Amino acid sequence: MTTVRCYVPLTPDQLARLRADRTLPGPLGGYAVTDALRADLPGGDADVWEHAALQHAARALVDAGAPVLIAAVDLTEERVDRTPTGGAGVGVGDVDLPRVAALHLGDDVVTGEPSAVEGQGEDVELSWYDTTEIAHVAELVEALRPTGQDENAPES
């Protein structure tokens, strides 16, 4: 059975659900090494392509003004929709916590300063966290919420 490493951008609420329920229902958007990504980086190798897919996920969050929080997930091929969307974009089925290999956080989450990812150029600086550190990651993400904001309150 072949697995595919997918980089799934998460919202703070999705992280909380993954932590509490140990699963996150799909479909979800993600990024992976695709034929289109390989074609964009023809001189690359597996490491270069994986880094590029991870950076696509990080850049999507930065561009959306969202905290940079990514789950690196190993899924079986049938749980990944590789329908060409251009670039590294893929669709991802359910994500179970045991399939999450790592969590990647941007400097905005690590430092608690939302502006820390601004002006980083093409590559977003990411820190790696093991899934056994999910409680700590949740604390870092929670610290980004404005004081007094109810997590269930609609965003303005």
**pLDDT confidence of residue 43:** 93
| pTM exceeds cut of 0.75 | yes
**103 pLDDT more than 80:** yes
**In one letter, which amino acid is 7?**
Y
Nearest to 9 by CA among 74, 59, 76, 77: 59
Q: How far apart are CA 40 and CA 53, in angstroms?
A: 11
**120 pLDDT more than 80:** no
Nearest to 95 by CA among 13, 18, 11, 4: 18
Least trusted range by pLDDT, from 1-5, 49-53, 100-104: 1-5
pLDDT, tens digit, 9 for 90 and up, residues 46-95: 999 999 999 999 999 999 999 999 999 999 988 888 876 678 899 999 99
All residues at 6 or more sequence positions from 140 whose CB lies less than 8 Å from its CB, including other chains: 105, 109, 110, 112
Helices marked H in 22-142: 35-40, 46-64, 107-111, 134-142
